Amino acid sequence: MARKKLIAGNWKMNGLLADGVELAKNISSGVKAMGKPQCEFLVCPPFTLLASVKKALRGAKVALGAQDCHMAEKGAHTGDISPLMLKDLGCSHVILGHSERRADHAESDDIVCQKAVAAHKAGLKTVICIGETLAERESGKAVDVCKKQILGSVPADSSAADTVIAYEPVWAIGTGKVPTTADVEEVHAAVRKVLAQKLGKANANKMRILYGGSVKPSNAKELLSLPDVDGALIGGASLKAEDFLAIAKNGGC
């Protein structure tokens, strides 16, 4: 089953207006220069930059996503942003359940699942993040933790058309540490298996599972050539157009 790779940038809480627009323009021209790339591209800037990045990406095949959303359509939720608002702004995707949100905002699997249901209802595609902590990895629980997160965070009616999974070991995020390729493939294959139990084999075979955590141009080739790795969710290196594009190129796009 050929799955088109997705190269996604999570800018996190980085970028003021001028840098964000410049970064988006550089990514846009780099992707255009690739002609017909074999991958899809996505950038997820902070809420404040979504509208201007959307403009800066015009004409390039780069999708726009947010980094979180609320589970309600509207209402008395000061400071929150609804999936419908993101859709209205031109977003096609939203990242949900990133480990930084699970840690900083106490987001449980159940909350992530409710947000995903709301996002799908609004017509957004979700990038649902899972991943174990260092203590969980060291005690041999990585696969079990990831399976449990999939079962709890992914809505029961999700499909490959509206959902992407991102496996991001918490201890690999922003640390320069990356699991061995065997460890990455072990988790991705286990995730695909549990997705098959939950959503059916056809959906699981089509669903993209991205790897995230210290992806760089230098390790992109080995990570992105693993059989169950269908792209990357890139933090730090997505803030430099040159590195983001080099990851895509080295990853076979």
Active site residues: 98, 168
Determine if 131 is a binding residue for ligand 13P (CB under 6 A).
no
End-to-end CA distance of the chain: 17
Give the residue, chosen from 81, 119, 215, 224, that forms a contact with ligand 13P under the rule CB under 6 A. 215
Contacts of residue 96, defined as CB under 8 A and 6 or more positions apart, other chains included, come to 68, 69, 112, 115, 116, 119, 126, 127, 128, 129, 153
Q: CB of 64 within 8 A of CB of 90?
A: yes
Determine if 235 is a binding residue for ligand 13P (CB under 6 A).
yes
Determine if 231 is a binding residue for ligand 13P (CB under 6 A).
no
Determine if 10 is a binding residue for ligand 13P (CB under 6 A).
yes
Degrees to nearest 5, angle at CA 223 with 127 and 27: 60
Question: Which residue number has the CB closest to ligand 13P?
Answer: 235
- CA–CA separation, 211 and 227 (whole Å): 12
Q: How far is the CB of 214 from ligand 13P (least distance, A)?
A: 4
When the beta carbons of 43 and 56 are compared against ligand 13P, the nearer one is 43
Q: DSSP code of 176?
A: S
Determine if 23 is a binding residue for ligand 13P (CB under 6 A).
no
Stretch that binds ligand 13P, among 73-81, 106-114, 183-191, 206-214 (CB under 6 A): 206-214
Give the residue, chosen from 214, 245, 250, 251, that forms a contact with ligand 13P under the rule CB under 6 A. 214
Stretch that binds ligand 13P, among 45-53, 142-150, 157-165, 208-216 (CB under 6 A): 208-216
Q: CB of 10 within 8 A of CB of 46?
A: no
Determine if 204 is a binding residue for ligand 13P (CB under 6 A).
no
Stretch that binds ligand 13P, among 24-32, 55-63, 86-94, 235-243 (CB under 6 A): 235-243
Identify which of 129, 151, 132 has the alpha carbon closest to the alpha carbon of residue 209.
Answer: 129
CB neighbours of residue 58 within 10 Å: 10
Determine if 168 is a binding residue for ligand 13P (CB under 6 A).
yes
- CA–CA separation, 224 and 235 (whole Å): 16
Which residues form the interface with ligand 13P (CB under 6 A)? 10, 98, 168, 173-174, 212-215, 233-237
